[in-house]
Structure 1
């Protein structure tokens, strides 16, 4: 399913529909919208907007649901959280306490995971463009494995491992050429994508890896995309990798690990959420007889629904020539990039119970950034909202704050963590002066002219 709103998608979900699909959220007559047990208006009163809010208890519950589904299917995969989805230390520590490791795609993410207390033995390093310094860091830390994505990287890592006097545990990331059926910008398993080793070359390259010094090949990795809710693409990809494992073993080469990647989708609009039980069933059906260790790399499914972005209507602006009005929010594309980047759909709920029951209308929800792409949705059906009304943009726990920028000299928003009935700021709102604190003006530029 594509990660965008199609003209044929049907009417927008109502306030009641959005709440029914998100049991961690509730609407109280007096307190308004509540995350876990904390009124979101109380956070907005104290911290302002825009502000990111994450639910710790919700995150733990989702992790336990995923791990439980695997156990119920008789599987015990290593679970490596995809750090790129949300890299805050508090989030990483919550998941590490539950038993999760970390899937990282840069040296910075590796260091971040270690700073959060994730043991090196529970870190895997993916990514199509690892630098020599990043690979040296992975070797020095002694991580669980490096997912090698090309023949070129394989040779480089072998040389670096020999020079360091270490052995690199590796998998080969295979590109199975399977269409995940998602938005073109979040699919990763097609032959036209930059990721992984072509399926037809994987067996020969695995044999090469066995012969190279400094390497210990463990098996294969794959990842076919993001926001996947149907199991057919998973089963097709897992079946291809199972065939590869059998072919490699037939050549007398050992294979002990298959890393199944991530990509399980969530309900953003009116989709059926990706099912951990169905994913476990797909893994068991295609890989269960191989006698291999298994791993998965969930990201969005774990953290996406646990977060909201609080915002405020700056201005209600009349539409042109009878078209829908504009609701201009104080959040923008620099805060939440996904709608501009992927045409992603995010639910929008009023924080006020009174606002939530107003008559609905069609509106264009936009931000104040000086770009036409700065939009959270065109022709959205929402209760009528006036200047100053507060809203929550839903399902922003993944690829939200972590993709933020300071474009248009807009400071980074504050971050808050809720846990049951308590909450605390986990990252202060960035002071505007910090935006230029690292700037250096050469002496030869000279001072600015005096003002009038």
Structure 2
């Protein structure tokens, strides 16, 4: 078995495996493209946090890990993490219902999101949600009205925008003053004062989230320090803050050259900035729990030789994995059949079959020879892969497979074309005229 950068996946006997299962066997059973998740990978990513937290918990720091479902909302993935001790961070009623269906109790679910509806707030309060993270003054008024109408006080955190630039891609930055998320730090005291005055609200927490792809702890320290200062000011104002929601966790290395996340430094930053406040701390990692535990399995349709470029045309497309088209994201691509160390590398554009120039996974990527019909795997695709997939070009949703040891199960099947068509209905005026 050769060394491999992703937990749960390795070349064994010249073939890429998910734990004890050859990926070729999965491809034969479910077809391609398909997402494949490793239980061992999920467990390793969970313990990367939980094991580091243990000594700090022994020192009295209370920390809950609430998995951010937006990264991967498959029920089997959620259940695997729930069995390890995870709560949930959700941003829609649909995600909340998935968390509940996977076995996470309502009092361990945090409901975030900048655009919650009154119906979603009512559903969350009705099931007994742990906390609603409120992001604007109008939302405060709306939550108050819903809570008062239902007679169910709403435990809320107010999400503060600390104006800390995490230095990530602009489309995933969430903590700068120009981003849509949270209430400006300078307005925080006014927001909490308003929350205290409104009926039906219980302002108990300060929340922040500056992004999910940070590999350095300096931005975290800056943001957490601002939270600590705010908590002390709010307590002086008579607001009994007992919780802090510190948002998403560390990033993940997508490129071989990316730094490895340092969980010890991350947790130390938490303890050293907010540990003295006596607050219960919530972390909301998503990407770092699931990304490396999943890959997208695809097959080469054609190798197209152009005048100026060579194209590897896959059966996977941008609707299956849209991160490259959306974020210019990098995913390491490996042949399922292990290439010889002596195999020559040559540049290829890796593309899909969708009728868009944006349906491109990589440009001029150095790859060993790969023949038509061969299987390839996009690594670190367990986060924002299947969760963001769609049916553009009327392509069916991709199946998802969970592996444990030498067993695997289809945890979301590929719908048939007939099932997709059955979701739609022809209006009466377009019905065919009887002969």
TM-score of the superposed pair, with normalisation by structure 1: 0.92
Structure 2 partner of 1:22: 6
Residues 7, 292 of structure 2: 8 Å contact kept: no
Q: Is the 8 A contact 2:6 2:380 kept in 1?
A: no
Please give the per-residue CA displacement for 1:215-254, whole angstroms capped at 9, x wherever unaligned: 1111201000121101111111101111111111122321
Note closer, same or farther for the CA distance 1:282–1:108 as it changes in structure 2 (3 Å cut). same
8 Å Cα contact 2:249-2:283 kept in structure 1: no
The range that moved more, 135-144 or 205-214, is: 205-214
For the Cα contact (< 8 Å) 2:8–2:39, is it kept in 1? Answer: no
Matches of 1:356 and 1:433, distance apart in 2: 45
Aligned mates of 2:205, 2:411 — CA distance in 1:
39
Moved more, 266-275 or 176-185: 266-275
**Alignment partner for residue 111 of structure 2, among 122, 125, 129?**
125
* 1:403-439: CA deviation from partner (whole Å, max 9, x where unpaired): 1101001111111110122111111111122222111
Please, which runs of 5 or more residues in structure 2 have no aligned partner? none
Give the C-alpha shift of residue 263 in structure 1.
4.2
Q: Within 1, Cα distance between the matches of 2:160 and 2:384?
A: 24
Alpha-carbon deviation of 1:28?
A: 2.2
Does 2:210 match 1:227?
no
Q: Confirm or deny: 8 A CA contact 1:57 1:419 kept in the other structure.
A: yes
Distance 1:385 1:295, change over 3 A: same
Is the CA contact 1:229–1:275 (under 8 Å) kept in the aligned structure 2? yes
Aligned partners of 1:231 and 1:55: how far apart in 2? 28
User: 1:69 aligned to 44, 47, 52, which one?
Assistant: 52
The equivalent of 1:101 in structure 2 is 87
Q: CA RMSD in A?
A: 1.6
Is 1:238–1:260's contact at 8 Å kept on the other side of the alignment? Answer: yes
CA distance in 2, matches of 1:300, 1:327: 28
Are 2:33 and 1:50 aligned? yes
Q: In the alignment, what sits opposite 1:246?
A: 232
Cα deviation, 1:269-307, whole Å, max 9, x if unaligned, reads: 021122221210111111111111111000000000000
CA contact (8 A) 2:38 2:403 kept: yes
State the 1:24 CA deviation: 2.5
Mapping for residues 241-280 of structure 1, pairs under 5 Å: 241-269=227-255, 270-280=257-267
**Residues in 2 aligned to 1:244 and 1:45: alpha-carbon distance in whole angstroms:** 56
Residue 327 of structure 1 aligns to a residue in which SS?
A: strand
Task: Report how far residue 357 of structure 1 moved.
Answer: 5.7
Query: Which moved further from structure 2: 295-304 or 410-419?
Result: 410-419
The CA deviation at 1:446 is: 4.3
**Per-residue displacement from partner, 1:50-95 (whole Å, max 9, x unpaired)?**
0110011220121122111112334431111001111111111111
1:171 maps to 2:157: yes
Which 10-residue stretch deviates more, 206-215 or 181-190? 206-215
TM-score, normalised via structure 2 length: 0.96
Query: Is 1:148 equivalent to 2:134 in the alignment?
Result: yes
Conserved? CA contact 1:70–1:76, under 8 Å: no
Residue 339 in 1 paired to residue 337 in 2? no
